[in-house]
Structure 1
Amino acid sequence: MNSTHATVTIDIVLDRQNTREILCALLHAILFHRLFGTIKPQTFEVLDVTMPGVADPAMKRLIEDKVDAFWKGLENVVPKRGEISVTLSKKDQRKAWLGITTYEEEVAWEQWIINAEIRQPKSEQERQQFTKNLASTLSKSLCTMLMHTSSEEGRGAVPPITNSEVSPFPLKISVRVGGVELP
């Protein structure tokens, strides 16, 4: 894979209560900004932050499966942290040996990395501050998405769109916990 692609990183500290909901909302928001076919929008209210999403059954299932894999992967790991990445690629024609034949290769043009850690607040006061910080982090993450996708770099990274599929580019969501990639 090409190492010159754009990489956007979101660091977030979660509590057990909100982990699944927040990770699903973040992945939906990323896909909302990077799926270029005809999509039906939807919104998620998470900690009083409205996050955009995609109302597509296949994408919903993919996101839920990856968040579930992340959650299960954290069961036996200390510290409770991992990474979910969304990689968008394009298919390039490459010449094989001596340029006689060609083959298709997927080349990443953008990657989104969510570094998530789970911590538990110990008191009610700590929980209130934690929730406030988490809502702020979500808002900042959404701003990061908007700033990147609307920037010249973010718009320029998008290869030519040649079809109207929901995901006109190869899309891969990976989960890593404890340095191991999970299915």
Structure 2
Amino acid sequence: MSIDVHTSHQGLSKFHQLLADQLRHEFTASQQYVALAAWFDGRDLPRLAGFFYRQALEERDHAMMILRFLLDSGVPAPVPGTDAVQNDFDTPRDPVALALRQERVVTDQFHRLAATAREEHDYTGEQFLQWFLKEQVEEVATMSTLLTVMDRANGDLFAVETFVARDLSPGGAAETGAPETAGPAVS
């Protein structure tokens, strides 16, 4: 049984409407990253697969941060379905290029959210978005770098795998200042 949860946002501020829509976008981004990871995993490229599996968890956590904010703000937050994701690609470059395009779209979405919060004098909402705006700079930079490395490798996927293992492996400092998630964070 499938239920379409494109709920009416009647009575919500424009900012809260956009934020509720962003919840769907973040869950969709998570699913898209699972699809990218599975594509690389199916081609025995474990470092690229692992990188995109981690990205999927991160996007899921972003959705859960938005859900927590909406719930804490007393805004109805039905959990949406996701939009369609792409599963088939012609070359290993294509999934990375899609990831970069996706991150640029998400960046534009967060800019629109921040502008709307400011226009509506929703200072709490604007403050909430600051972490996401900073995070998007990092996400776009990471995907841009990965695409550049993919292009420079000129088909040498072992070189790309080595780069991912060396420079994009998990670890380092925990994210400070990140909003709280609804339920436990997984990334």
TM-score, structure 2 as length reference: 0.33
| Structure 1 length-normalised TM | 0.34
Structure of higher RCO (CA pairs closer than 8 Å, 6+ residues apart)? 1
